[in-house]
A and B are shown apart, each in its own frame.
Chain A
Amino acid sequence: MEMLSPEEIVESFKTALASDFTDSKIYQKEVAIRKNLFTSIWIYVKREAFRKAVEHVCELQKYPHLSVISSSDRGDIVELIYHFTIYYGHNLKELSLGLCMDLPKEDLKIPTITDVVPGALFTERETQEMMGVEIVGIPDNRRLFLPDDFPQGVYPWRKDGRGPHDMLRVLPGRRGVRGGQNE
């Protein structure tokens, strides 16, 4: 398998995605005595090109490892990051690759990737119930961690009015939580 350097990986994304590639950054840090480098790469893409970007990751490594999908509520948008690792199995060659994209709050939809990465199902189910991002085409639409009697339309990781803040008991003498009515 041909292994690209972090810079070459960024270039390959630029070529593959053209105008849908928006930004990138490479973070490196020296570790311990021998000063080997820890490397993480962050690739920012437009949501339209998301599937193409995932397929490109699969070209870099036949079976990329997806650790998890993280999601951040950032006001008008929700940022999703698909945390992949590629080039595992070789001494200090593995790279963390975060595939990042912004979804506007009024249209929180992203296609499933379980057809190319079957193991992504758990984290897709979790993103769906915790952040309220609809995963289009998900093969198993049930909740993962939340109980069945948890109210619909409340998403624990949201920081806007859709969060669980009004479900919390605010102890006497304590301030309410951000976004809640008792604030």
Chain B
Amino acid sequence: MSETKTKTSYTIPIGPIHPAVHEAIRLDLGVDGEEIVDVDVVVGQVHRGIEWIGMNRNNPVQSIYLAERVCGICSTSHPFAFVQAVEHAADIEVPERAEYIRVIIAELERIHSHLLWAGVAAHEVGFDSVFYLVWRVREKVMDLMEYLTGNRNSKAMFQIGGVRRDITEEQFPRIKETLEYYRAVFSQLKTVFLDDITVRMRTRNVGILKTEDALKLLACGPTTRASGVPKDVRQDQAYGAYADLEIKAITPDVLTGTVVGDVYDRIVVRLLEVKQSVEIIERCLAEMPPGAILTEPKIAKLLAMLKRAEGEGVGRHEAPRGECFHYVRLEAGEETLTTWKIRAPTYANLMSIPTILKGGQIADVPIAFASIDPCISCTNRAIVVDIKTNEKSFLSGEELHKLSIEKTRRLKAGLDS
């Protein structure tokens, strides 16, 4: 951390393990009183060398399942981008039906991920009843995924050149019933998150990321869309069945008429995207063509083909958190991938965290940090270091969470009086 801070009297490291950030990452906050003046993001606590394994140990088919385990929540996004990269590198065709099944699974994942995030966001501002309610609502889509794929998460649906399981006519009623459920529950979610005065006070004008900063800092996904940049891979680039569906990127002005780029706008974007996902799945069910779901069902033959292949390719997918990017290089005669580079959406969004947090208060850190829906891995305590005396005191996760809840109560009390 830079030593040039003159006004700063404290550095507060939050993490690497802390309940407010849910995964292993460290934020070093330089604070002046309650105000945050300097932010440093320290990553790497959960680096597992996945790319290295793909380049040294696994064959490409094994790497699909490894890609699936990059993230426990985006367990569709990484294989989606990865198989595309390999298909482009080896020039493998994908059956049309498979493209639609891929999109259905990816959109189910978006519904579950956005609801998971909405619950966490409610928890961060001290609304635990909403947290429980939203996660109960989320269970419906988890059950559907289990019904369709055999697993709530890590669904193992993707294969190079298609998908591994079909979605059949007999399964349609159950899917449609779940979609109807979300359509019905949407207005309730909207009321709880967007019309509640306390939620609005905790999120409006908090953690602002301006349009220009979002563009310069390469933010992606709901984070950049909430700042007014209509950037969405599903809309921008032809891949999967999205290319047929004329997707439109959602920016908050669709609902509110303005773009502020704050936490509230990020809630707006994610909630509207849940509705959008429901519509996308419905169209996929209606327009899904019949036919094969795999170009090469025999894995030994597929591997032999990949071993002969020579080339490079990129795969992109709009994960719930933003653009997920994979680059793959294949060389003839090599069993493994020659090069594999993964860029997860949070990798890009973390660059915006200092801008989002600076000028805010310590009590806003949990919700402002959570607003980019960071996917890293969790935090237990924060250490408060007095730079002058180098004395350390501990600020536990509970205390930090309490600060956040107290702020909500304070604002509420001010409202009632």
Contacts and interface: CB of A to CB of B under 8 A. Distances in A.
Interface in B10-53: 43-44, 47, 49, 51-52
Contact of A34 (B91, B229, B243): B243
A178 interface: yes
Task: Kindly name the residue among B44, B55, B216, B237 whose own CB sees the greatest number of chain A CB atoms within 10 A.
Answer: B237
B21 to A, nearest CB: 17
Interface string A128-152: 0000000000000001111100000
B270 interface: no
Contacts of B350: 122
Given A27-B313, A70-B341, 15 more contacts: A65-B218, A67-B325, A89-B229, A89-B235, A92-B237, A96-B314, A117-B216, A118-B216, A119-B348, A120-B218, A122-B347, A145-B47, A156-B49, A164-B52, A177-B56
Interface of B: 43-44, 47, 49, 51-52, 55-57, 88, 91, 96, 99-100, 215-220, 229-231, 233, 235-241, 243-244, 246-249, 287, 289, 312-314, 316, 323, 325, 327, 329, 338-339, 341, 343, 347-348, 350-352
B351 A121 contact: yes
Nearest to B323: A67
10 contacts: A33-B241, A36-B238, A42-B312, A67-B325, A67-B343, A68-B341, A81-B327, A89-B230, A94-B237, A146-B47
Interface residues of A, number: 51
Given A92-B238, A96-B314, A157-B51, A119 B339 contact: no
A1 interface: no
B4 to A, nearest CB: 13
B216 A119 contact: yes
Contacts of B91: 29
Contacts of A81: 327
Given A31-B239, A122-B350, A36 B218 contact: no
A98 B243 contact: no
Contacts of A145: 43-44, 47
A90 B236 contact: yes
B348 A33 contact: no
A122 B351 contact: yes
A31 B236 CA distance: 13
Task: Kindly name the residue among A68, A90, A118 whose own CB sees the greatest number of chain B CB atoms within 10 A.
Answer: A68
A71 B312 CA distance: 12
Nearest to A116: B216
A172 to B, nearest CB: 17
Contacts of B56: 177-178
A118 B314 contact: no
B303 to A, nearest CB: 19
A36 B55 CA distance: 32
Task: Kindly name the residue among B96, B244, B341 whose own CB sees the greatest number of chain A CB atoms within 10 A.
Answer: B341
Contacts of B49: 156
Contacts of A178: 56
B88 A29 contact: yes
Contacts of A72: 329, 338-339
B193 to A, nearest CB: 26
Interface string A41-75: 01000000000000000000011011110111000
A144 B47 CA distance: 10
Task: Kindly name the residue among B218, B230, B247 whose own CB sees the greatest number of chain A CB atoms within 10 A.
Answer: B218
A38 B236 contact: no
Contacts of B323: 65, 67
Task: Kindly name the residue among A37, A71, A156 whose own CB sees the greatest number of chain B CB atoms within 10 A.
Answer: A156
A83 interface: yes
Interface string A88-109: 1111111010100000000000
A34 B239 CA distance: 11
Contacts of A112: none
A120 B348 CA distance: 9
Contacts of A24: none
Contacts of A32: 96, 99-100, 238, 240-241, 243-244
Nearest to A61: B215
Contacts of B241: 32-33
A36 B215 CA distance: 27
A115 to B, nearest CB: 11
Given A33-B289, A72-B329, A121-B351, A38 B238 contact: yes
Contact of B44 (A31, A65, A66, A144): A144
Nearest to A147: B44
Nearest to B350: A122
B231 A40 contact: no
A146 B231 CA distance: 31
Given A32-B244, A68-B327, A96-B316, A38 B237 contact: yes
A93 B238 CA distance: 8
A149 B238 CA distance: 44
A31 B238 contact: yes
A67 B246 CA distance: 23
Contacts of B43: 144-145
